[in-house]
Structure 1
């Protein structure tokens, strides 16, 4: 049913599921201890993007912000387009915002422009709640879609692989304390959509091959899954490489505001390709092999 020279994905299912479980446990522990570095979208505060016609020195602007005594902040400077992004932990008052702008104009660039976004705690909690609800609705919709189109075993396998994809990206952002904001949530939802599309392609081929397969032993299911993965592998690899090229270009050449979005996409796309091949189909295989094999009647086995 398959060439012996080809790698057997199904026979190596336990190894990949064990590796995935270990990665998940490490991610849970890391997230539990380190937590997430919420941006102002989810933790309140003020974001200020400064665009200048003159080069921005990160050391000098850091000293300037320290002298303003506005509290804790994070600073990112892009010298390529003379932009600086400042994230203040606390929401600035109108007087603090006015003074900071006036002082910057006086010390650095009178023509500098500012884009300010202030989020109070109530709005931050509401956005955090809405993001969680949106992700939950997306997962429920995927379960219903896959259950109707395929069967419950496919649905469980798909959801577990999607949870792995989303949690893998979250764990990476937790370990490296990267900022989690609304673009991050958009990236996770995009990754979920991409991953389920890739998974459904493999599931569709498994279902098609299952229609014509003569299953006599559990090992026949291994061969069927392995054959289905190899039949869709080129398509999966080509798709993920194409999308990854676009995501990497956004990360390298994009502005500061979309770099973390692009990074989340890169990590999630790689994880989605992995989970579709090594997790989703293997979980379905595990459940399917638990099902008793229907014996083919003697007449049906001998007559065409």
Structure 2
């Protein structure tokens, strides 16, 4: 599928996008300060109970049973042969045995249980490991882009990636969506897709710079606009294809991967826009300040 973007001034369009991005970042900081994140059991203490059943057990049957047993707050997902229950408080040995015996008695005598307990220390360690993984990924990208291109490209790329990740996290914070390990995997996957789009544009900018005669600021702007136009069709087709797969996972997938799919959809859309309207124009800004060009002289009326 081909599109025509040769007449668009992406650098000019990016100016209001920059302002909007700053506003969104400030709103995100306020949201995270007030609401924080809705951590799943992976990042806070609690019990995870996975039940393999030999016959279909309806969610409507199990929920009244869980409510009557006074196990505390929980989240519940079910499939044809598997039920997953996440309790916000760690179950005691007595509660675990009671849950298992009562469930087998009422629903399925052949059911098998897998119980995992996450304490506070493990939850904090997993939270730090997740943050460390994202940080290491960003540092690796800075080094790679700086070696392959130059430091201005590296700064622009990482600024764009941080914005994408922060926006997805902010959306999950505002709407109180659960943050778990699949969500972290989605963030790392999003970073990979986003840097891929950004590197493609940067590679075209570098290629076009070899043949460009940069005498004025307008010449540099033309190089950036031309490079984005030449790669935009590829970027759109790639994002649409992957986003379609992520939407299918969200609609038809199990409850356990819905947050992963949703984070992927948001990240792909925000990442595509960020590569075009943040990463490339930010490089343009840094490059223009590094080596001043003559301003284009207005043509006198003949």
- RMSD across aligned C-alpha pairs, in angstroms? 1.9
1:198 partnered with 2:213: no
In structure 2, what is the equivalent of residue 301 of structure 1?
none
* Alignment size in residue pairs: 291
| Alignment-derived partner of residue 41 in structure 2 | 40
Give the corresponding residue for 2:157.
158
Question: Could you say which residue in structure 1 is the equivalent of 2:31?
Answer: 30
Aligned ranges 1:136-175 → 2 under 5 Å: 136-175=135-174
- Normalising by structure 1, we get a TM-score of 0.89
CA distance in structure 2 between the aligned counterparts of 1:273 and 1:181, rounded to whole angstroms: 24
- 1:176-200 CA deviation, whole Å, 9 max, x = no partner? 1111111111111111111111100
Aligned match of 1:240? 239
Do the aligned residues in 1 keep the contact of 2:6 with 2:226 (CA within 8 Å)?
Answer: no
In structure 2, what is the equivalent of residue 298 of structure 1?
none
Aligned to 2:263: 264
Equivalent residue runs for 1:72-221 within 5 Å: 72-78=73-79, 81=80, 83-221=82-220
- Distance in structure 1 (CA, Å) of the matches to 2:95 and 2:286: 60
Distance in 1, matches of 2:115 and 2:260, equals: 20
Residue 105 of structure 2 aligns to a residue in which SS?
Answer: helix
Q: 1:30 to 1:294 in 2, by over 3 A?
A: closer
Which secondary structure state, in structure 2, belongs to the residue aligned with residue 125 of structure 1? helix
| 1:15 has 2:16 as partner | yes
Which digits, 9 at most, give the CA deviation of each residue in 1:94-128, with x for residues without a partner?
32112101111212222334333221222111111
The C-alpha deviation readout for 1:35-60, integer Å capped at 9, x for no partner, is: 10111111121112334455444344
1:165 Cα offset (Å): 0.9
| TM-score, normalised via structure 2 length | 0.90
Distance in structure 2 (CA, Å) of the matches to 1:105 and 1:171: 41
- Stretches of structure 1 lacking an aligned partner (at least 5 in a row): 296-304
Q: Could you say what secondary structure the match of 2:205 adopts? A: helix
Aligned to 1:48, what secondary structure does the other structure show? Answer: strand
Cα pair 1:216 1:293 within 8 Å, conserved? no
**Poorly superposed stretches of 4+, deviation over 6 Å:** none
Q: Hey, what's the Cα distance between the residues in 2 that align with 1:52 and 1:25?
A: 47
Q: Which runs of 5+ in 2 are unaligned?
A: 295-302
Moved more, 164-173 or 11-20: 11-20
Q: CA deviation at 1:83?
A: 4.4
Aligned to 2:298: none
Match of 1:225 in 2: 224
| Residues 59-68 or 37-46, more deviating | 59-68
Residue 236 of structure 1 deviates from its aligned partner by 0.4
* CA deviation map 1:229-274 (0-9, x unaligned): 0000011011111111221222222222111111111111111111
